[in-house]
Structure 1
């Protein structure tokens, strides 16, 4: 089974579960529902796209861009009247292809490159450069490359060498370096036996260096971030930590023992996966300033999933909404909108039948773009991913959400 098909199957099953009566438990990183290792690799709006339905990560990303500003202080309106979502297409007027709506932010790149082989988009290095990985076997990365989106040229950054049962994932870019984790699956792949190590290499290329830690780290990271000369990471089981990029003592972030990285320095709980229907990332903590934010929840609401500034959820009548974390500025979302947003503004929306497709919806401008897929379900993520990427025939579709946001 190809990893693209596997991702689509996972995403389709997740979407079916979302349409069923809400049970305790929730979703992912990164945007696409990936296999467990792929999810860690990319966090993405990946799914935003198979997202890949790629924040990271999701894998999707804001990948490579920290969300350092605090949630805006807005005037709460206890029962803000909902406004109709602008730009919702009718069955007779479906959106134009995403590459026509936002040509400055969309690329189609080959799934295989000459002299490189099969590639996987992982992150955006800068406005014209994409970070790619190649595989020596299924989900086992063998090298990382820089891909020039203008010229199509590739440059190897580093080889990745891992022993059997050890997988590289969670690639991030920051402060002129690329960081990632390697996870030792341990005995039978059981969570309690996994261990994680971190690695770093300059964007310009070189030999990967281990980010040494003062003690072995059990488990695996669900999000990585680079800031202030440190590598920050959160564990799947909860807890946020930092370690100097050059290696050293692992320090827990005070007050974040149950938290996960959302968009550094913002960390929150309970994270993507909720056990009792709590709002995902309902509680936020700024790891640098200590500032906190608690999302407003009203009676009868369900499936609330929050970002740094906004939350998305469902009402008892089945309609969906988007509003600020303090409960103000509530607006309706188009029917079929995903449970998550990317960069607090982008959604994946199911098209009206019979098209059986999905489109990317920018809630801020009301513009929409057809993703070009039919019969598969993708998702957007609340992680820090700026990149949406998904298989598209013999190519990969790559969408830079920050470029869309900057142009609006």
Structure 2
């Protein structure tokens, strides 16, 4: 069987439980776990690991975009990719590895880049239930505990983001979502508020925490220290894409609608509506670009205004990370995947290969301004900081 057939067979059974899955997506991606936000990592044993690029350069560092708008290249993107150098050789400044476990044996799950040299990760007390968060220094190769995470039975920590000096997360609870924070330097946790619904994304907005709600949408903010929750005017149906950009519909659309077809800048009020042509499907948009499938089943990328359209070797299931990165399957015996930078045309082999059972791990990058890619490999975690790829 081909990889696509294996995934369709194994993961299709999860389709009914997948929250707001776009048309056709459950054939490729496992049902999202109850503790993870929509864009979190999903695992189906012995078949596939789907790793989503998370976080946003603007939200994490308060800086403008790092990368140029992808432009049409004189030579089309190759329709077949058969080989590439390892990612660490292609982009040595962007790629590093951290251990898969602490010295005591606790498994590490990376969550976010804290800054250019450190990573936030969690450990679990049981499957998917975090019991502590740590900072890992990529240069010194040391870790320090930030705080313990204590939640009652059935309550899970979820949806992380980071300011310059604090870590924020949510907890999925009966009847709502808890919003929490802790100093990045370490200390006691603080509950900021309890809000209705399930939070699907968070971002830092000045001195406030912004968050959006999964069902029905809606973006609100709350001061870092807690206090009054305020709805963002004009974003009553929207979801955080890459702050300050929020959009609708969300990343997952139940009837094949265009993801983030309409976006608005929550700070300036600027709006953008993506151009979508008749017969196009699986259209996923970011802040600058859209990808999708034409009626003839060929895949494309173009800017939101409909210009600079170009062919892609395959359709990114979830969109482009940072509006320029995607993963593609090698067209060769033995399979594998490459990271493709559409702004430069360079590719890097991520190193994954079929297991003894024939299952092939798969990485899919998420939309928006995501700069953080993480995946397990040979007992370690490979960390790619997309903002360091120029």
Residue 40, structure 1, aligned to residue 31, structure 2: no
Question: Where in structure 2 are the equivalents of 1:88-103 lying within 5 Å?
Answer: 90-91=81-82, 94-103=83-92
| TM-score, length basis structure 1 | 0.81
SS of 1:112's partner is coil
Structure 1 266/67 Cα, relative in aligned 2: closer, same or farther at 3 Å?
farther
The equivalent of 1:210 in structure 2 is 191
Residue 183, structure 1, aligned to residue 182, structure 2: no
Structure 1 292/42 Cα, relative in aligned 2: closer, same or farther at 3 Å?
closer
The equivalent of 2:384 in structure 1 is 399
The equivalent of 1:242 in structure 2 is 221
Cα separation, 2, equivalents of 1:349 and 1:368: 9
Among residues 308, 320, 324, which one is paired with 1:341 in the alignment?
320
Contact 2:32/2:42, CA 8 A, preserved across alignment: no
The equivalent of 1:143 in structure 2 is 132
Deviation at 1:385, TM superposition (A): 2.5
SS of 1:347's partner is strand
Deviation at 1:116, TM superposition (A): 6.4
Among residues 116, 119, 133, which one is paired with 1:130 in the alignment?
119
Cα separation, 2, equivalents of 1:102 and 1:87: 20
The equivalent of 1:53 in structure 2 is 52
The equivalent of 1:301 in structure 2 is 280
Cα separation, 2, equivalents of 1:129 and 1:211: 25
Cα separation, 2, equivalents of 1:252 and 1:229: 15
Contact 1:295/1:326, CA 8 A, preserved across alignment: yes
The equivalent of 2:103 in structure 1 is 114
The equivalent of 1:13 in structure 2 is 11
1:106-140 CA distances to partner (integer Å, 9 max, x unpaired)?
12221111136211000001111010101111111
Deviation at 1:176, TM superposition (A): 1.6
Among residues 194, 199, 221, which one is paired with 2:180 in the alignment?
199
Contact 1:42/1:56, CA 8 A, preserved across alignment: no
SS of 1:183's partner is strand
Contact 1:26/1:272, CA 8 A, preserved across alignment: no
Structure 1 124/141 Cα, relative in aligned 2: closer, same or farther at 3 Å?
same
Over aligned residue pairs, what C-alpha RMSD do you find? 3.3
Q: Which moved more, 1:162-171 or 1:327-336?
A: 327-336
Residue 264, structure 1, aligned to residue 243, structure 2: yes
Deviation at 1:346, TM superposition (A): 0.2
Contact 1:195/1:220, CA 8 A, preserved across alignment: yes
SS of 1:210's partner is strand
Contact 1:12/1:378, CA 8 A, preserved across alignment: no
1:11-47 CA distances to partner (integer Å, 9 max, x unpaired)?
9737x99xxxxx953769xx9857424532974699x
Deviation at 1:230, TM superposition (A): 0.5
Residue 153, structure 1, aligned to residue 142, structure 2: yes
Deviation at 1:377, TM superposition (A): 2.5
The equivalent of 2:265 in structure 1 is 286
Structure 1 156/368 Cα, relative in aligned 2: closer, same or farther at 3 Å?
same
Contact 2:121/2:136, CA 8 A, preserved across alignment: yes
| TM-score, length basis structure 2 | 0.84
SS of 1:354's partner is coil
The equivalent of 1:64 in structure 2 is 60
User: Which runs of no fewer than 5 residues in structure 1 stay unpaired?
Assistant: 1-7, 18-22, 75-79, 187-193
Number of matched pairs: 366
Deviation at 1:347, TM superposition (A): 0.3
- Consecutive aligned runs of 4 or more in structure 1 exceeding 6 Å deviation: 8-12, 80-83
The equivalent of 1:104 in structure 2 is 93
Cα separation, 1, equivalents of 2:114 and 2:30: 23
Cα separation, 2, equivalents of 1:230 and 1:302: 37
Cα separation, 2, equivalents of 1:11 and 1:107: 34
Residue 172, structure 1, aligned to residue 161, structure 2: yes
Structure 1 67/275 Cα, relative in aligned 2: closer, same or farther at 3 Å?
farther
The equivalent of 1:5 in structure 2 is none
